[in-house]
Structures are given as structure tokens and as C-alpha cells.
């Protein structure tokens, strides 16, 4: 339960823990003085029948002790909060920073829902570990030792019996520790799985409704929730049972101590005042350990969370490059990539994309187009072979410079809720009104936005109040404002209306010359004007050339192009037009 690595991660907490232990210990000494003073007054009253001289001083001492205890209790609570705050301030950024360093492909290594649960509830339970459990752990050892020293001169037998009973509480804790660890492991598994399902079902709710599959998912989630409830109940039962045992030891021990004190008084071994003071203090022998037992269960849960947190923090990170990437030709040599297993998504790819050129990557579904985009944009970093931009290897470049250099616009670019203005400003935070309006004009969205109240037109989450084509055009306007030297368009025109598609393609074509453009498109009519088309098949580069070259060679690309034209214009001659125009 003393995790050195975890403690080292929150170095500030050590000082607060020390101060809290000191405050609790001084408070215990104040209790000793208080109860001995009260007992002394009682003895005086019993012996003399009335208050005598020195009573006023005794009252003053007792009142002083009460005030000291009150102040120290407040101080102790403050140290708890400060320790807890330092836990939050250290661990949440550590989790967030790790996810950032893992890069946008982090979800392949660690589920999003679990990361959120750890950063939220996991960290909160660790607050109890640092703020309560650790200080109590040290205080619970100090308190019985202090009382042993106080009791020994008065009644050695009582002191010895009480002191020997105290370890029964940690023994009860140790007895349940193994069971608790196993149960809490199960608890976190069930919690994380439920979180994953909940997040996924929520994200896909519309799809579930469309297919009428929400009922089945509902049932499946009910079963998961029921499993989580049962595990939670087992955890609570275990905690309750162990608390009952600890209470039995604490109150049984206090009762035994009181009986021994009374016996020592009757045998004349201790004065009346001494016996009363010991009876009043007997419970203090156990209270510290008893509180430790209560904190133990919450802290144990925090420890289970910390195991997972450390697993996340230990995940291997992609090497952080140190070289500034600069604009220039993209050179790919012997590029291979696999998502795991024997199957390769890309095999020995070679190509050079000169600066300012318009390249297209095409091929059948699953041939590796998006994988290439993910590698070029730094999302997938574990590739073999070489990818250089202006001569610098991609993995040696800093993430920051790659972000400046390249923008990816995909078919599902995320649009946050807010306004059109706030969305556009994500592309260029210091853009002025005219720049924002100009970007909207370029994607043919200005008129619509103006009709809806202008740049401050409100946007719902994921811009749900826009049509698919409008969303995509807005995402493009945001990307244009960023004005990066290289753009990758990954199916940026899929699933949208023909008018929006043409608007977007017009903008993409206009970037040629001033920007390097890599267009990934399943619709080959869109790539006809590309300077070079790369045709992939099962991760291999099979053909490369202009549309005209590839049509002339009459292989895979030509067959795919003609098939699409036939589908779009059945029986018509239109199918051949773009080819002839390009020629
Ligand atoms: N995250 C992943 N984990 C495992 N395999 C993956 C993953 N993403 C893609 N793949 C596999 O890698 C191969 C290439 O996928 P990729 O997404 O690059 O194809 P694509 O050409 O972009 O397809 P599409 O045109 O359908 O988008 C496919 O066989 C796919 O099943």
C-alpha cells in the first residue's frame, strides 16, 4: 500500500503528509493533557467535596487544550485538501500529457473511456490515498506508541494489553487485502467495460435507432450494468465486513482497557484521577488504526486505479523528433506498414511528391490509402522504410513543425459546438473578420452563413445543425485558414451532394502550385487533373502516372475508372469524356 513510484510522482504531497501527521500528534498530546486535567479536577472534587484552589487554572488548561485541538483539526483538514489538490495538479496533467505524447493514435493502445475514468474518479480516489490514508498510516503507528509511554508509568498491565490489542486491526486489514485487491481489480474491469460500452453506444445511438438495434444493445448494457452492480455490492460487503471486525477490535479493546483500569484502581495500583484519564484515553489507542482501516478501502480502490494509471503512463511513446521540418518535396522509400499480424497495409512503397504538386492516391477499398495519409500526417509512426520531407525523416521532425506543415481534411473532420466564427478561428486564431469571410466565400458558404445571422451563427455539437455538405465545406474553410504548405484530403468529398463536392474540388484544384496537395478519393473523376496518380492494390503501388498515362496502359486504374463512369452514366459516352479532356 506504500507505492514509492506513485508518491514520487506527487512530491509536494510529502510535506503536507508530514504536517498533517504532526498536527494530529500534537492534537493527541492536547487530548492527553485535557483528559488528565479533567480527571484531576474530578479527583479533587471527589476527595475534597468542593472546588479548591487551582481549579481556575485547570479550567484554563482544559479550555486551552480544546482550542488547540479545534485549531489543529482545522489545520489537519486543510493539509488534507492541499495534499489532494497537489494530487490533482500532478496526476491529471500526467495522464493528459501521456495521451498527447502517444499521439492521435493513442486509442489503439488505451481505451478513451478508461482514460477519462482514470483522470476523473481514479484521481479522486488517489486524493484519499494521499490526503487521508498516508498521513493516517504514520499517525496510526505514532499514536499507540505515544499512549504507551503515557500509560506505562500509571498501569503497565493496562498499557501492555491495550498496546498488544492494536495490531489486531492491521491484521484484519491484511487478512482482507488479498481478497480486496482481486475484487477491486474486477471492479475496475467492470467499470471500464461499462464506460466503453456506454461511450460507444452513445456515439452510435442514431445508427442503433436506424437499424432498430437499440433494444438489443440496451439489454446488453443492462447485463453489463448488472454485473457492475454485483461486483460493487461484493466490494461494499467486503468493506462492511472488515469494518465490522475492526469495530469489534476497537470497541472490545477499549472496553477491556477500561475494565483493566478499573481493576488497577480497585487494587490501589492507580489513583482515581489516573484511572479516569486512562479510561477516557483508552479509545484513542484504537481510533487512529480504526480510521486507517476506513481510509484503507477507499485508498485500495485508488491503488487499483493507480495500477492502471501506471500502465498507461508506461506505454511506449513514439520517439519525439527534434528537427524542425521544413516545406519541400515528400520522398517515400521502401515504406511498409502493418497494423499487427502478418498482413501488411502498405508494402515497399516508393514515390516522390514534388513541392506544389497535386498528387492523388486511389485504389479499391482497403488498399492502404488512409494508412498512407496517417503515416504522412504523423498519426501512425511505427512504419518501416523512409518518409522524408525536404530531406528530413518524418519521425525525426518535431510534432509541432509537422502540425504547421501539414493539414489533413477527412470525411469526418470534427466540428465542435459553438459558432461558425469559433470554428474558423481554430484554423487561425488571429484571423480578422475579412479573412474569415473570405474563407467562407471560397467554399461557397458565405451566403448561407450570412442568411443565418453571420459569423456568430450558433453551431450544435458536431455542427449537427448543418447539412453534410455544409459541414464539409466549413471544415475545408477552417483548413484553408490554417494555410499550411501541405494538404492531405482523405475522402474529403465522400457522402456529400454533387454541388458541395464540386465546390470543394474547385478549392482543392486551386491550391495546386502554392501548396502540395495529396488527394485520396474513391471517385476517380475527381483525380483526373492530378499531376500524378498513385494506384494502390493490397498495399502495393501498382501504377503511377497521369490520368492519361494510366488510361493508356489500360490496367487496374483504367478498369476502375471505366467501371465508375459506366455506373455514373450508364450506357452514355460521358464515361470517356474526362479521359479525352485530360488527354
Ligand atoms: N486500425 C486498424 N487496425 C487494423 N487493421 C487496420 C486498421 N485500419 C486499417 N486496417 C487495415 O489496413 C488495410 C488498409 O486500410 P486503409 O484504411 O488504409 O484502406 P483504404 O484504402 O483507405 O480503404 P477505404 O477506401 O475503404 O477507406 C485494410 O486491410 C484494413 O483492414
Question: 220: CA distance to ligand 1 center in Å?
Answer: 28
> From the alpha carbon of 340, which atom of ligand 1 is closest?
4
pLDDT band for position 241 (50/70/90)?
confident
**What pLDDT, on a 0 to 100 scale, did the predictor assign at position 483?**
94
Per-residue pLDDT for 360 more than 60? yes
**What pLDDT, on a 0 to 100 scale, did the predictor assign at position 380?**
84
**Residue range 209-214: average pLDDT?**
86
Per-residue pLDDT for 30 more than 90? yes
Place of cell 484531576: 40
**Sheet arrangement for strand 540-545:** 406-410, 486-490, 516-520, 358-363, 532-537, 540-545
Mutate to test the pocket of ligand 1, among 104, 106, 111, 345 (most ligand atoms within 8 A of CB): 345
Per-residue pLDDT for 583 more than 50? no
Distance CA 549, CA 476 (A): 30
Per-residue pLDDT for 580 more than 50? no
Mutate to test the pocket of ligand 1, among 335, 362, 370 (most ligand atoms within 8 A of CB): 370
pLDDT band for position 53 (50/70/90)?
low
**CATH homologous superfamily for the domain 4-313:** ABC transporter type 1, transmembrane domain (1.20.1560.10)
pLDDT band for position 571 (50/70/90)?
low
- For 454-501, the DSSP string reads GGG-EE-GGGTTS-HHHHHHHHHHHHHHH--SEEEEESTTTTS-HHHH
- Identical fold between 4-313 and 330-545: no
> 126 vs 361, which has greater pLDDT?
361
Chain mean pLDDT for the chain: 88
Determine which helix (DSSP H) or strand (DSSP E) holds 352, and give its type and residue range.
Answer: strand 346-353
Determine which helix (DSSP H) or strand (DSSP E) holds 519, and give its type and residue range.
Answer: strand 516-520
Place of cell 474558423: 424
What is the CATH code for 330-545? Answer: 3.40.50.300
Q: Whose CA is nearest to atom 20 of ligand 1?
A: 366
Per-residue pLDDT for 441 more than 50? yes
For residue 19 and ligand 1, the question of a CB distance below 6 A is answered with: no
Name the residue ranges covered by the structural domains of the chain: 4-313, 330-545
Amino acid at each position: 500500500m506504500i507505492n514509492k513510484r506513485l508518491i514520487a510522482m506527487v512530491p509536494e504531497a510529502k510535506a503536507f503528509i508530514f504536517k498533517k501527521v504532526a498536527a494530529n500528534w500534537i492534537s493527541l498530546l492536547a487530548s492527553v493533557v485535557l483528559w488528565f486535567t479533567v480527571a484531576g479536577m474530578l479527583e479533587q472534587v471527589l476527595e475534597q467535596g468542593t472546588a479548591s484552589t487551582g481549579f481556575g487554572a485547570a479550567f484554563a488548561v482544559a479550555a486551552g487544550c480544546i482550542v488547540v485541538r479545534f485549531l489543529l483539526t482545522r489545520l489537519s483538514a486543510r493539509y488534507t485538501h492541499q495534499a489532494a489538490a497537489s494530487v490533482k495538479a500532478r496526476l491529471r496533467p500526467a495522464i493528459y500529457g501521456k495521451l498527447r505524447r502517444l499521439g492521435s493514435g493513442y486509442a489503439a493502445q488505451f481505451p478513451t473511456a478508461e482514460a477519462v475514468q482514470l483522470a476523473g474518479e481514479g484521481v479522486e480516489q488517489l486524493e484519499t490515498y494521499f490526503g487521508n490514508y498516508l498521513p493516517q498510516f504514520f499517525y496510526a503507528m505514532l499514536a499507540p506508541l505515544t499512549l504507551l509511554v503515557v500509560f506505562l508509568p500509571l498501569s503497565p498491565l493496562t498499557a501492555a494489553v491495550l498496546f498488544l490489542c492494536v495490531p489486531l486491526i492491521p491484521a484484519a486489514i491484511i487478512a482482507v487485502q488479498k481478497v480486496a485487491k482481486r475484487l477491486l481489480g474486477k471492479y475496475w474491469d467492470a467499470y471500464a467495460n461499462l464506460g466503453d460500452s456506454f461511450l460507444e453506444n452513445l456515439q452510435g445511438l442514431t445508427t442503433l435507432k436506424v437499424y432498430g438495434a437499440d433494444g438489443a444493445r440496451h439489454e446488453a448494457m443492462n447485463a453489463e450494468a448488472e454485473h457492475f452492480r454485483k461486483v460493487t455490492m461484493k466490494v461494499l460487503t467486503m468493506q462492511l465486513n472488515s469494518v465490522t471486525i475492526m469495530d469489534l477490535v476497537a470497541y472490545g479493546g477499549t472496553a477491556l482497557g477500561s475494565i483493566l483500569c478499573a481493576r488497577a484502581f480497585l487494587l490501589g495500583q492507580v489513583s482515581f484521577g489516573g484511572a479516569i484519564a486512562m479510561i477516557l484515553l483508552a479509545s484513542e489507542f484504537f481510533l487512529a488504526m480504526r480510521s486507517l482501516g476506513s481510509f484503507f478501502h477507499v485508498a485500495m480502490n485508488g491503488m487499483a486505479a493507480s495500477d492502471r494509471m501506471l500502465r498507461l503512463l508506461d506505454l511506449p511513446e513514439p520517439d519525439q523528433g527534434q528537427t524542425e521540418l521544413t516545406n519541400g518535396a515528400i520522398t517515400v522509400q521502401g515504406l511498409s506498414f502493418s497494423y499487427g499480424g502478418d498482413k501488411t497495409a502498405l508494402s515497399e512503397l516508393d514515390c516522390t511528391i514534388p513541392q506544389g504538386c497535386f498528387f492523388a492516391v486511389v485504389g479499391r477499398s482497403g488498399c492502404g490509402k488512409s494508412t498512407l495519409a496517417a503515416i504522412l500526417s504523423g498519426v501512425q509512426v511505427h512504419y518501416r522504410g523512409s518518409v522524408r520531407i525536404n530531406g528530413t525523416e518524418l519521425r525525426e521532425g518535431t510534432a509541432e513543425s509537422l502540425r504547421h506543415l501539414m493539414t489533413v481534411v477527412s470525411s469526418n473532420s470534427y466540428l465542435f459546438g459553438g459558432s461558425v466564427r469559433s470554428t474558423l478561428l481554430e484554423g487561425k486564431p488571429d484571423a480578422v473578420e475579412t479573412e474569415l469571410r473570405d474563407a467562407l466565400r471560397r467554399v461557397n458558404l458565405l451566403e448561407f452563413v450570412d442568411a443565418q445571422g453571420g459569423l456568430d451563427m450558433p453551431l450544435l455539437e458536431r455542427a449537427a445543425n448543418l447539412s453534410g455538405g455544409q459541414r464539409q465545406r466549413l471544415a475545408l474553410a477552417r483548413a484553408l485558414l490554417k494555410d499550411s504548405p501541405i494538404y492531405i484530403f482523405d475522402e474529403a468529398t465522400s457522402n456529400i451532394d454533387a454541388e458541395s463536392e464540386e465546390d470543394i474540388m474547385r478549392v482543392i484544384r486551386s491550391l495546386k502550385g502554392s501548396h502540395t496537395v495529396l488527394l485520396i478519393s474513391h471517385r476517380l473523376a475527381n483525380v483526373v487533373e492530378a499531376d500524378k496518380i498513385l494506384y494502390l492494390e493490397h498495399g502495393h503501388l501498382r501504377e503511377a502516372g497521369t490520368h492519361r498515362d494510366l488510361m493508356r496502359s489500360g490496367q487496374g486504374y483504367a478498369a476502375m475508372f471505366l467501371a465508375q463512369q459506366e455506373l455514373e452514366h450508364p450506357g452514355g459516352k460521358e464515361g470517356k469524356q474526362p479521359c479525352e479532356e485530360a488527354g
